[in-house]
Amino acid sequence: MNHLTVKYNELSAEEFIYLWKSVWDGAPSLEQTALAMQNTLFRISVFDGQEIVAMARMIGDMGLNYYIKDVVVKPEYQHKGIGKMLIDELMKFVRDHGIKGTTIFVELCAMPDKIPFYEKQGFSANEAQRLKLMCEVK
Ligand SMILES: CC(C)(COP(=O)(O)OP(=O)(O)OC[C@H]1O[C@@H](n2cnc3c(N)ncnc32)[C@H](O)[C@@H]1OP(=O)(O)O)[C@@H](O)C(=O)NCCC(=O)NCCS
């Protein structure tokens, strides 16, 4: 592993899909992903040389709600502290941009086996359940 480089707000749709495929099935389309990147508050990407190895992004309204999405570390780079660094960077973004003197709701959705990772970063689960509906756009 070379020295890792962190980039801000440069994560492309192609890089996003590449990393998505390293950990999940059913990657979204390039067009959908490009629009999502464009409308993301804050994107962070991590490179080992020329190769992207991790990403995370923050969506939200900047005032009341921030939502962490798509925290991915390529499998061969996991358990080296990169995931923690991504969360630290996302939380720094909130502290730098949130209205001073307020308390801000930072939220995310995690699979059960990833909850301990987020608990180590200070998050806690509550009784709320995720509801979803896959909406077909014609
Ligand atoms: C979840 C993920 C981002 C963690 O990234 P990582 O770089 O491996 O995490 P780190 O090395 O920074 O780990 C930080 C701490 O969390 C712990 N940890 C990491 N993954 C964990 C897990 N699944 N369960 C319990 N603890 C975990 C580490 O042991 C470490 O503990 P320490 O601080 O006591 O040493 C990574 O496993 C990943 O990308 N998974 C696939 C995609 C995914 O599911 N993302 C989450 C979407 S909700």
**pTM of the predicted model, to two decimals?**
0.97
Enumerate residues 6+ apart whose C-beta is below 8 A from 37: 11, 12, 13, 16, 43, 57
Q: Looking at ligand 1, which atom is closest to the CA of residue 77?
A: 7
The pLDDT of 93-117, averaged and rounded, is 97
Mean pLDDT over the full length of the chain: 97
> Residue with the nearest Cα to atom 10 of ligand 1?
81
Output the pLDDT for position 69.
98
Per-residue pLDDT of 12-63, as tens digits, reads 999 999 999 999 999 999 999 999 999 999 999 999 999 999 999 999 999 9
Q: For ligand 1, atom 32, which residue shows the shortest CA distance?
A: 120
- Provide the pLDDT for residue 76: 98
Q: Which atom of ligand 1 is nearest to the CA of 116?
A: 25
Q: What is the DSSP letter of 62?
A: S
Give the residue carrying structure tokens 């070379």.
2
Q: Domains along the chain?
A: 4-120 (3.40.630.30)
Mean pLDDT, rounded, for 107-125: 97
